[in-house]
Amino acid sequence: MQFSRFPRVRLANLPTPLEEMSNLSKALGGPRLFVKRDDSTGLGFGGNKVRKLEFLMGEALEKKADTVITTGGVQSNHARQTAAAAKRLNLKPILVLRGEKPKLHKGNLLLDTLLGAELRFVRASNSEEADQIAYEIASQIKQNGGIPYVIPTGGSVPTGCLGYVVAALEIVSQIEQKGIEIDYTVVANGSSGTQTGLTLGFKALHSGIKVIGVSVSHSKEELKHQILRLGNQTAGKLEIDTQLDEEDIVVYDEYVGPGYTVPTRECIEAIKLLARTEGLFLDPIYTGKAMAGLIDLIKKGVLKKGQNVLFIHTGGTPALFAEEEIFQDV
């Protein structure tokens, strides 16, 4: 796979560590468990989006953009990482955030404020509507002579997915060096870019590693459709023959609970367990739910003793500091 023809700016500390979680494996009596520390990509408190932003910002710079606009929820990790990357590259970040402006800026929103990002709180019932608002802001900027670059929700477009195809290469090389084999990778799915890039990358490399996505918001039908489309667009961009088929795509939507951003009891339990067994912090919106899924899949015997499972820690931990109240009685 040829990545050199795509514009890319180095923003992440790579490779991120791949560590064994033996205390957690012991506590769960299940498979050997490993964690890919993409919470440690470095920039602006890190997280998975920094990998996507290397290619997205590469494209923005190639287009001579002066402003980067993206969208997300009020506690969006993606928006925070985009604002940090924009500041690093001397671009102006505008964040279109779905929801009311809260009295107190906590967690990611506090960091967005420190970064000096321009914040626009909007009423939008879904990410498509928020993206639409971002494009409207972009056309106003253009009329005033600026050069805007819009990153649609989550950076889950083929350019962003390249970051996780690269991550698949990185993981395959790390496990070869460590002399281990991985059967399954478990990852949180919000807007699908991370799962798509990993699935495509592992398949193109004939690694045999299967990816299990744990949805934090959408139904599995929606996500499977999205991954298939995005995966094949990304393969087209890379000019590789690998195509994703339905059987390559595994998504569980049973762990969403009452809704996106609402932590379930199992999510809170998973966050506690990881802190107390591995000294590792998960987040209440994405990785806590993905870990709750992994734990349940062990209980159900889908993930078994004798297998090796890699959990992708996609970051999001600043959101812990916007949710202190749910952790008071734990």
Residue numbers at the binding site for ligand PLP (CB under 6 A):
47-48, 77-78, 154, 156, 188-195, 283, 286-287, 314-316
Minimum CB distance to ligand PLP smaller for 168 or for 188: 188
**CB 78, CB 155: distance < 8 Å:** yes
83: which 2 tokens?
Answer: 């604002």
What's the one-letter identity of residue 225? H
Minimum CB distance to ligand PLP smaller for 60 or for 151: 151
Please list, residue by residue across 156-180, b when 16 or more beta carbons sit within 10 angstroms of its beta carbon and e when fewer do: bbbbbbbbbbbbbbbbbebbeeeee
What's the one-letter identity of residue 182? I
**CB 237, CB 165: distance < 8 Å:** no
Minimum CB distance to ligand PLP smaller for 41 or for 308: 41
Choosing from 25, 76, 156, 217, which is the catalytic residue?
76
305: which 2 tokens?
Answer: 């003793």
Q: Which residue is nearest to ligand PLP (CB)?
A: 316
Taking residue 132's Cβ as centre, other Cβ atoms within 10 Å add up to 14
Question: From the CB of 136, what's the least distance to ligand PLP, in Å?
Answer: 23
Q: What is the Cα–Cα distance from 31 to 73, expressed in whole angstroms?
A: 35
Question: From the CB of 176, what's the least distance to ligand PLP, in Å?
Answer: 25
Question: From the CB of 49, what's the least distance to ligand PLP, in Å?
Answer: 6
> Among this protein's residues, is 76 annotated catalytic?
yes
Minimum CB distance to ligand PLP smaller for 30 or for 316: 316
Question: What is residue 164's three-state secondary structure?
Answer: helix
Q: What is the dihedral of CA 44, 46, 51, 52, to 10 degrees?
A: -60
Question: From the CB of 164, what's the least distance to ligand PLP, in Å?
Answer: 7
Q: Supply the residues annotated as catalytic.
A: 76
